Every structure is written in structure tokens, then in C-alpha cells.
């Protein structure tokens, strides 16, 4: 891999856990867009080792974490290792199930070059849409569109941004790492967080659950009502990390925190009222408050997770 610091030198950091053989297709597609694909595996079971070994043979080295430490920790490991060994000019972070359009990374790198030439400090660039959902924009008067609440998969981040504002929130196991991330800190550093128009990602944003009351499907105006279904453990992470983010960010970004809390409240109301598993979901959601108040983050206790399955 090239050591010269140019805008064309890019490392894709791919977060992996329990990868399937399909990962090989994802890696091969990425090699056509970046100089190196670095796979960071988050303590997957031993039976997945042959998949990672096969990918090494096609030029995709991997870092294997001894145990599951969560998305924040592995993204930080994947960002720190290339800095120490290759010093690439740009990084891209990707989830295991993300599929990019063919010229995805060429577009933001060109845009960041142009914006920087116009004396605008570049923080990062992200996708215009994820799984058909548009990235929310900040209010703007002039200049490129900027994201208000980013999704980390598909970030294109210059190394200078990481050196300026740091990496991801390593204490968030699942959820919240998008918000406690370089793009969010770019606001304080006065760097632009660009939405790259035309860049789309096919990305699984969660299963849609059908709303039921007393076993009957809920319909309004002849339309079935659905909501984002998540397992009890995932609901715990959403609530716990959301509470912690609110505590950390409210003084600096009261408008953003209030909007996020309102949006999440609406999602939770649908889950709690219409999900057949509503009692369990409410129980784990309430459990987050004492944990968050004590600053306890990280993995949901395994023995409790087994009882909820």
C-alpha cells in the first residue's frame, strides 16, 4: 500500500461479527474503490475463521479481537491500526451488511477536494440515503448540504479530521456510536460534515414489526401499521446509550438532543403499545436508567440476555 499522503489513498475499515461467505463479495467490490480493505472482527466464533483466512489471501488483512467488545471499540481499533502502520489520507467505515454504489467513495473524495480548495475545512462526508431513508440535513444558507444526525456506515473521513477531533465513542457497544463520532465533533471544530448527493447505501436498518392489538392487525385508512422491531437487548442499548448521549450533549446541542428524544419517544410508544412482547421491552427500557445514571455502558449482561431469548 502507498505511504504517500494523497487524497487517493484510502483504507476501508469493515466491522465484522459472525461473517458469512458473502463477505467475500463485499470485500472484492470494495477493493475496486479503495487501496486497502481492513477487516476488524469482533470476537467471532472459531467456525468463521476460514472465511477471514480466505479473505487475507485476496489482500484483505484482518484484526481479530479476542472477544465481542462492540462497534465503537472495533471501529477505533480499525482506525488506529492504519494510522500507525500506513498513514492513509482517508478512511471509510462500513458495517458488514452495507452495500455501496460502484462509485460511492470516488464522489465524496472529489467533493472534499473541491470544498477544501474553496477554503472550507472538511470534516467528513456521508451517504445521501441508507436503505432508502434520506440522511437528515442541517439547516443551511449556502454551501454543500450537511448532515445533522449521521449514520457511521459509509463515512469518508480525512485523516486530518481524526487527528483533530478523535475517533468514535468506544464505550458504546451498539447504537449511539454514530452520534458520538468524528462527524458530530466536527461541529465544534468548525469542519463541514457533507452529505454526498447521489451516494446511496443498501443497509439493513432493522426488521419491521406489524402492529397488533389483542392479536389483530392494526390498520388505519386501510393501511397496515408497522414499526421498527428490535430485540429486547437492542432496545436496552438504544435506551441506555440514548440516555448517556443526552447527558453528554444536551448543554452543547439542546435542539438536536430534544429532536432525537422526541423521534425516539415516538418509536418507543409504537413498540411498547403494539408489540406482543411489550412487557419485556418496557422492562429492559426502564432498566437503562439506573445503569446510565451510574455511567455503566458496554455489553448487556449475558445471563440476562439468555433469559430474554
Q: What is the pLDDT of residue 215?
A: 67
Calculate mean pLDDT across residues 110-136: 80
Confidence (pTM): 0.79
Q: How many helices (H) and strands (E) does the chain have?
A: 10, 15
Q: How far apart are CA 51 and CA 39, in angstroms?
A: 11
Question: In the prediction, which pLDDT does 303 show?
Answer: 63
- Count of domains observed in the chain: 2
Check if the beta carbon of residue 69 is closer than 8 Å to that of residue 43: yes
Rounded to an integer, the average pLDDT of 130-147 is 76
Mean pLDDT across 262-270 = 83
In this structure, are strands 99-100 and 192-202 parallel, antiparallel, or unpaired?
antiparallel
Q: Which residues contact 212 (CB under 8 A, 6 or more apart)?
A: 218, 274, 276
Cα–Cα distance between 239 and 250 in angstroms, integer? 16
Q: pLDDT grade, residue 146 (50/70/90)?
A: confident
270 is in which domain, residue-wise?
A: 207-308
Task: Answer with the one of 168, 202, 236 that is the final residue of a domain.
Answer: 202
Residues in the chain: 309
CATH number at residue 24: 3.90.550.10
Residue 241 placed within a domain? yes
Same domain, 141 and 100: yes
Q: Is the same domain home to 169 and 226?
A: no
Residue 2 lies in a domain: no
pLDDT at 7: 45
Is the per-residue pLDDT at 119 higher than 80?
no
Helix (H, G, I), strand (E, B) or coil at 118: coil
The whole-number pLDDT of residue 200 equals 85
CA-closest candidate to residue 93, choices 156, 18, 43: 156
For residues 252 and 278, membership in a common domain is answered with yes
Assess if residue 3 is contained within a domain.
no
Of 109-113, 217-221, 270-274, minimum mean pLDDT range: 217-221
Look at residue 288 and tell me if it is in a domain: yes
Give me the chain's average pLDDT, please: 79
> Is residue 76, in this structure, part of any structural domain at all?
yes
Q: What pLDDT does residue 174 have?
A: 77
What pLDDT sits at residue 188? 78
Residue 183: predicted pLDDT: 67
End residue of a domain, out of 184, 202, 220: 202
Query: Mean of the pLDDT values across residues 46-58?
Result: 81
Q: Does 218 share its domain with 263?
A: yes
Among the candidates 167, 202, 237, a domain finishes at 202
In a domain, 4, yes or no: no
Answer yes or no: is pLDDT of 264 > 60. yes
Residue 30 pLDDT grade (very low, low, confident, very high; cuts 50, 70, 90): confident
Q: Same domain for 153 and 227?
A: no
Residue 38 β-bridge partners: 13
Taken in order 178, 181, 183, 189, the sign of the CA dihedral is: positive
Amino acid at each position: 500500500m502507498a505511504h504517500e499522503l494523497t487524497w487517493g489513498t484510502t483504507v476501508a475499515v469493515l466491522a465484522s461479527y459472525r461473517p458469512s461467505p458473502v463477505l467475500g463479495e463485499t470485500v472484492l467490490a470494495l477493493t475496486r474503490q479503495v487501496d486497502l480493505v481492513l477487516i476488524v472482527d469482533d470476537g467471532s466464533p472459531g467456525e468463521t475463521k476460514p472465511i477471514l483466512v480466505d479473505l487475507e489471501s485476496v489482500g484483505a488483512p484482518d484484526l481479530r479481537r479476542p472477544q465481542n467488545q462492540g462497534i465503537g471499540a472495533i471501529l477505533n481499533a480499525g482506525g488506529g491500526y492504519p494510522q500507525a502502520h500506513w498513514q492513509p489520507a482517508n478512511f471509510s467505515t462500513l458495517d458488514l451488511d452495507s452495500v455501496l454504489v460502484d462509485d460511492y467513495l470516488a464522489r465524496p473524495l472529489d467533493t472534499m477536494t473541491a470544498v477544501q480548495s474553496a477554503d472550507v475545512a472538511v470534516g467528513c462526508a456521508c451517504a445521501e440515503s441508507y436503505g432508502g431513508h434520506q440522511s437528515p440535513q442541517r439547516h443551511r444558507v449556502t454551501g454543500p448540504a450537511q448532515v445533522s444526525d449521521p449514520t457511521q456506515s459509509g463515512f469518508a473521513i480525512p485523516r486530518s479530521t481524526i487527528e483533530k477531533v478523535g475517533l468514535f465513542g468506544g464505550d458504546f457497544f451498539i447504537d449511539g456510536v454514530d452520534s458520538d463520532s468524528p462527524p458530530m465533533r466536527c461541529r465544534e471544530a468548525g469542519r463541514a460534515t457533507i452529505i454526498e448527493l447521489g451516494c446511496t447505501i443498501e443497509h439493513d436498518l432493522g426488521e419491521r414489526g406489524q402492529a397488533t392489538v389483542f392479536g389483530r392487525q392494526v390498520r388505519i385508512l386501510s393501511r397496515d401499521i408497522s414499526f421498527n422491531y428490535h430485540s429486547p437487548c437492542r432496545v436496552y442499548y438504544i435506551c441506555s446509550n440514548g440516555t448517556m448521549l443526552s447527558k453528554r450533549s444536551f448543554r452543547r446541542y439542546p435542539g438536536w438532543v430534544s429532536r432525537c428524544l422526541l423521534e425516539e419517544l415516538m418509536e418507543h410508544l409504537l413498540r411498547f403499545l403494539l408489540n406482543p412482547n411489550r412487557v419485556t421491552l418496557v422492562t429492559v427500557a426502564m432498566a437503562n436508567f439506573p445503569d446510565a445514571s451510574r455511567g455503566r455502558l458496554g455489553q448487556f449482561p449475558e445471563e440476562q440476555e439468555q433469559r430474554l431469548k
